[in-house]
Amino acid sequence: MSWRSCFYFLRAAHKTLYTLQEQLGLLGRSGIRPSSTMAQTVTPILSVLPTRGLVDEKFKVALENLPPRFPVTLHSLHQSEDKDYWEAFGYYVSDDRGRVTVSQDASLGGTYTGAEPMGLLWSMRPVPGSRTGLRLRKMDVQSPMVVLISAYKGHVFEGFREQPPMASAVTERWYMAPGVQRIDIRERGVKGTIFIPQGPGPFPGVLDMWGGGGGLVEYRSALLASHGFVSLALDYLSPKVAVADDQSLVYFEKAFNIIQQHPQVIKDRVGICGLCLGASVTLNVAAYSESVSPRCCVCISGSHVLPAAKSLSYVINDGYKHMDKLLVDEQNRMVWRHAILPITTNPDEKLDMGRIKCPLLLVNGDDDQSKATVESAEDIAKMMRAAGNEHLLTTLNYHDAGHLIEPPYTPHFRASNFIIQHLQQKVLVLWGGKTKPHADAQEDSWQKILSFLREHLYPCPSSSIPQAKL
């Protein structure tokens, strides 16, 4: 039975009835039953805990019942919604008790090295022979990412399909905690998805926006709701959503109001989180909206360099006009970071950061090849210093991280396919970053983003409340 069809079989057979005869037929065995006297059979016990975790939850992968000082390869495999296969692997040697403990032991090679508890997830890349320019994203957040963890004899770097592993385990990775509700929003012209945490509420709220790639991307919102925030994932670039030519911020203000007015939201505790173009929108709303006041803002891999008075569509088109500054590297990948360099000194060409009235967290990677976010952050600090509101600013710069700083333990892609919406042109975009530093940046920044949101959006407990006599 081929390894690939074995994988499908295991997935499909979960709830199916079989008699023993049918099973024997499917498995195609010739009738030789294994016994433990077969020479050199190694039957290790592989465990992955938790068996079902949230995407940002650490897991513990362990092997026992191996011979001592036995070389093994731990391998992970995931089939994406687009049907591509992703894998990672690490080389280990069992200790004197015949155990491998991934959270403690060092990987000696593979797609990651060193003691990396989550390396089997963040170092994944498409399997050999895959299509190029792939990016791993979960669009259906109501089902988990299913990952197969396997243990192979020896240190293997290829041919995982052709040889059976010694043992394997399946683990699920969820963006939605149980009890989180997902609700489609299609009202007042606004298109998005709201996620509501479990509990009576009321909760703080977050408006959550992705970048210029467009579409309705829900996973970060689902995870924010799993951490206690009502979160609205907003689609602001799709053709049907008539926002691109709108010069005002009305669409975003409407979206913000939808969150504020939700019966389970504390209306003066709503913040905004945006990545890339979404970060620019965030700054624009925070600086110029006259009807909404975010309590705090998180801007990931964003910039303030965009003309405030112009529409989004203008901003996007304008960006592509400076094609002379848009490099294409030796592998035909678009490098867009120079488009806004040097940072303009003309105040009409960038947002007035002196108008920011709420705490602002900037999260950037210094190897961002798509946008000059580090230079932008320096200029933002300069503007805010001059305006006297610099105390609101916190900047996190991650060395060797790229543009796509996402929730942790998901793979890094230095470049991937991208469709330039209005040109309907498919290109390969260089995002930047080196895998290990980028993974560390995702892990660290996510914790800090959650803390920042909690600190500013969750009401502080009042110390005037009666306390227990102890």
Rounded to a whole number of angstroms, the distance between the first and last alpha carbons of the chain is 66
Nearer to its own copies, 168 or 370 (CB): 168
7 binds its own copies (CB under 8 A): no
CB of 25 to its own copies, least distance (A): 10
β-pair type (52-54, 181-187): unpaired
- Counting Cβ atoms within 10 Å, is residue 69 exposed (0-12), middle (13-18) or buried (19+)? exposed
Site for its own copies, residues 160 to 179, rule: CB under 8 A: 164-172, 174, 177-179
CB of 94 to its own copies, least distance (A): 8
Nearer to its own copies, 40 or 346 (CB): 40
To the nearest 10°, report the CA torsion of 405, 410, 413, 417: -90
Strand, helix or coil at 230?
Answer: strand
* Catalytic (active site) residue 299: no
Candidate list 34, 129, 239, 263; residue touching its own copies; CB under 8 A: 34
* Catalytic (active site) residue 276: yes
Q: Which residue has the tokens 């970053």?
A: 433
CB of 457 to its own copies, least distance (A): 10
C-alpha 371/C-alpha 369 separation (Å) is 6
Nearer to its own copies, 20 or 309 (CB): 20
29 binds its own copies (CB under 8 A): yes
C-alpha 176/C-alpha 287 separation (Å) is 32
Q: Give the x/- contact pattern for its own copies in 302-341, rule: CB under 8 A.
A: ----------------------------------------
Contact range with its own copies by CB under 8 A, out of 50-58, 293-301, 367-375, 423-431:
50-58
Contact range with its own copies by CB under 8 A, out of 17-25, 283-291, 292-300, 364-372:
17-25
Inter-residue contact 100 to 179 (CB < 8 Å): no
Nearer to its own copies, 61 or 299 (CB): 61
User: Which phi and psi (to 5°) does residue 77 adopt?
Assistant: -140, 135
CB of 82 to its own copies, least distance (A): 21
Candidate list 50, 114, 128, 189; residue touching its own copies; CB under 8 A: 50
CB neighbour burial string for 121-130, b if at least 16 within 10 angstroms, e if fewer: bbbbbbbeee
DSSP bridge pairs for 205? 230, 270
Strand, helix or coil at 164?
Answer: coil
Catalytic entry in 227, 262, 304, 403 = 403
188 binds its own copies (CB under 8 A): no
Site for its own copies, residues 62 to 101, rule: CB under 8 A: 65-71, 93, 98
Q: What are the structure tokens assigned to 312, written together? A: 């989004």
10 binds its own copies (CB under 8 A): yes
156 binds its own copies (CB under 8 A): no
**In the 3-class helix/strand/coil scheme, how is 92-127 assigned residue by residue?**
EECCCCCCEECCCCCECCECCCECCCCHHHHCCEEC
Strand, helix or coil at 248?
Answer: coil
C-alpha 90/C-alpha 125 separation (Å) is 13
Q: Please tell me the count of residues contacting its own copies according to CB under 8 A.
A: 78
Site for its own copies, residues 194 to 233, rule: CB under 8 A: 198-200, 202-203, 226-228
Nearer to its own copies, 218 or 367 (CB): 218
Catalytic entry in 56, 262, 276, 304 = 276
C-alpha 328/C-alpha 331 separation (Å) is 8
Nearer to its own copies, 54 or 298 (CB): 54
CB of 390 to its own copies, least distance (A): 28
Give all strands of the β-sheet with 100-101 in edge-to-edge order: 45-49, 60-64, 100-101
C-alpha 148/C-alpha 179 separation (Å) is 26
Q: Give the x/- contact pattern for its own copies in 425-454, rule: CB under 8 A.
A: -----------------------------x
* Catalytic (active site) residue 403: yes
Active site residues: 276, 368, 403
